[in-house]
């Protein structure tokens, strides 16, 4: 996000006025904040699991789910594939994101902070950089493609704040908000945000609203293009990791994908319809791209997942085609689940689906389920992602973040390469290369087994 400008120079009197106004707002806000915390306490008592709450509000799925989920046994969740549990947030973690350079993971929580974790140090304790989200909290955080900034989707203000990563004199990473928040739109709730950069150097921010509006904006928040998805309401919207596409799913049984076009010199050009994913029979809850947008996976209320090849010449009218599909409610989904999240590994070999507080991991090539992690969090899973290298599956749902080894990723790599290697002559460089990759994957698996 290099083109984001430095804060404007202000004259002294202007600064004084700002400071005084800021103090006033702060006093007012802290008053409201105290009240809000009190309100929260009351809510917690209301939804205690042992109380007969189901009859208070019949048809309130959330209350029913919370009652179902709040069992003390979740506190000490453990699994052989669990690498580490990250602790530090004092409120529910609402969103996760991994930086493209593979170095950081960001988590945001209703404790009014975003925390940046070093992926390299996942195993060694709970070190993180705490970034305060003043007067608000973030539901989503998304790194900029150059990994030097991130944007946060503000829950109360319903808009976007940009934070820039920097280093203090002692080398410690810090983050500061830059300029003011994006202009807000109050007609609809913010559903998701994203940042995209194209190969020509153009970059943009996506703000998607539940009311089927998606806005493509420049890095200052000015609207470049507005899309109406016409999907009734939106369940999910995202920018592809390669930055070329914006996609959405909702009440209709399709996923719509648009191309965000920039000129060769990096200026915004237009947004055009690219392609659609079809075949589900009802609402698509969630979808995900692999790292170069050549594959996509979807999960729907119809109980199935679908895996597509999206490397198509959509400009010539080619449509994505289905590579595989299956059901994701294997043993679970016994209660009436009303939303599931899907994540696709960067290499597209593995997909994971989170329903309530369970996670199912399966191979996209064979459809076989490798493992089900059950009752991973004490509340409904809010975010599910793979790290950039495809080594881990990360989930959030309560105050903690669970990091699982992507064991299936290694197994699928071995299976695929062993198939490829068979017909190759014994003294070929390709064979050697594949063999090396197989050995590396085997070594990684052995290390997980030992730990």
As measured in angstroms, the least distance from the Cβ of 48 to ligand NAG is 8
Residues in contact with ligand NAG, shown as a per-residue x/- string from 266 to 285 under the rule CB under 6 A: ------x-------------
Site residues (CB under 6 A) for ligand NAG, limited to 386-425: 390
Q: Does 263 bind ligand NAG (CB under 6 A)?
A: no
Q: Given candidates 93, 191, 214, 259, which one binds ligand NAG under the rule CB under 6 A?
A: 259
Contact between 162 and 151 (Cβ < 8 Å): yes
Per CB under 6 A, the segment of 111-119, 129-137, 149-157, 185-193 that binds ligand NAG is: 185-193
| Residue closer to ligand NAG (CB basis): 179 or 372 | 372
Residue 33 vs residues 39, 111, 131, 295, 321: alpha-carbon distances, Å = 10, 12, 19, 44, 50
Q: Does 42 bind ligand NAG (CB under 6 A)?
A: yes
Per CB under 6 A, the segment of 13-21, 280-288, 303-311, 328-336 that binds ligand NAG is: 328-336
Q: Given candidates 76, 124, 265, 451, which one binds ligand NAG under the rule CB under 6 A?
A: 76
| Residue closer to ligand NAG (CB basis): 211 or 218 | 211
| Residue closer to ligand NAG (CB basis): 113 or 249 | 249
| Residue closer to ligand NAG (CB basis): 162 or 356 | 356
Q: Does 58 bind ligand NAG (CB under 6 A)?
A: no
Q: Given candidates 334, 426, 429, 451, which one binds ligand NAG under the rule CB under 6 A?
A: 334
| Residue closer to ligand NAG (CB basis): 121 or 270 | 270
Residue with the shortest CB distance to ligand NAG:
332
Site residues (CB under 6 A) for ligand NAG, limited to 341-380: 346-347, 355-356, 358, 374
Q: Does 332 bind ligand NAG (CB under 6 A)?
A: yes
Q: Does 188 bind ligand NAG (CB under 6 A)?
A: yes
Per CB under 6 A, the segment of 80-88, 206-214, 249-257, 363-371 that binds ligand NAG is: 206-214
Residues that bind ligand NAG (CB under 6 A): 41-42, 45, 52, 55, 72-73, 75-76, 185, 187-188, 209, 211-213, 259, 261, 272, 291-292, 315, 331-335, 337, 346-347, 355-356, 358, 374, 390
């Amino acid at each position: 996000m290099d083109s984001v400008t430095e804060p404007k120079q202000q004259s002294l009197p202007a600064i004084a006025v700002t400071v005084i106004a800021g103090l006033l707002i702060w006093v007012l806000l802290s008053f409201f904040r105290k009240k809000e915390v009190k309100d929260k306490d009351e809510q917690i008592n209301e939804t205690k699991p042992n109380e007969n709450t189901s009859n208070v509000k019949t048809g309130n799925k959330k209350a029913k789910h919370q009652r179902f989920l709040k069992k003390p046994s979740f506190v000490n969740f453990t699994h052989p594939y669990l690498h580490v549990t990250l602790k530090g947030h004092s409120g529910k973690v609402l969103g996760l994101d991994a930086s493209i350079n593979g170095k950081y993971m960001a988590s945001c929580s209703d404790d009014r902070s975003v925390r940046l974790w070093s992926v390299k140090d996942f195993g060694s304790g709970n070190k993180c950089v705490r970034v305060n989200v003043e007067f608000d909290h973030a539901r989503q955080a998304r790194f900029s493609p150059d990994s030097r900034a991130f944007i946060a989707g503000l829950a109360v203000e319903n808009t976007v704040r940009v934070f820039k990563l920097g280093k203090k004199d002692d080398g410690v990473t810090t983050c500061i908000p830059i300029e003011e928040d994006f202009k807000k739109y109050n007609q609809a709730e913010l559903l998701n945000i994203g940042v995209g950069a194209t190969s020509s150097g153009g970059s943009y921010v996506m703000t998607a609203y539940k009311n089927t509006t998606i806005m493509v904006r420049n890095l200052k928040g000015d609207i470049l293009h507005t899309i109406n998805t016409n999907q009734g309401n939106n369940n999910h919207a995202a920018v592809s990791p390669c930055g070329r596409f914006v996609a959405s799913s909702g009440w209709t049984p399709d996923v719509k994908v648009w191309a965000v076009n920039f000129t060769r010199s990096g200026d915004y050009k237009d947004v055009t319809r690219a392609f659609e994913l079809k075949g589900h029979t009802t609402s698509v809850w969630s979808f995900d791209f692999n790292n170069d947008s050549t594959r996509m996976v979807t999960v729907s209320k119809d109980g199935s997942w679908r895996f597509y090849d999206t490397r198509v010449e959509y400009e010539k009218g080619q449509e994505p085609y289905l590579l595989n599909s299956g059901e994701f409610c294997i043993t679970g989904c016994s209660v009436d689940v009303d939303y599931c999240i899907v994540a696709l590994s960067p290499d597209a070999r593995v997909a994971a689906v989170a329903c309530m507080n369970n996670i199912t991991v399966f191979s996209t090539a064979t459809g076989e389920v490798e493992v089900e992690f059950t009752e991973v969090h004490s509340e409904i899973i809010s975010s599910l992602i793979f790290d950039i290298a495809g080594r881990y599956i990360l989930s959030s749902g309560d105050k903690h973040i669970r990091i699982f080894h992507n064991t299936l990723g290694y197994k699928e790599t071995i299976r695929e390469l062993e198939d490829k290697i068979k017909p190759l002559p014994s003294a070929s460089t390709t064979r050697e290369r594949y063999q090396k990759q197989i050995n590396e994957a085997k070594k990684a698996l052995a290390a997980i087994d030992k730990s």
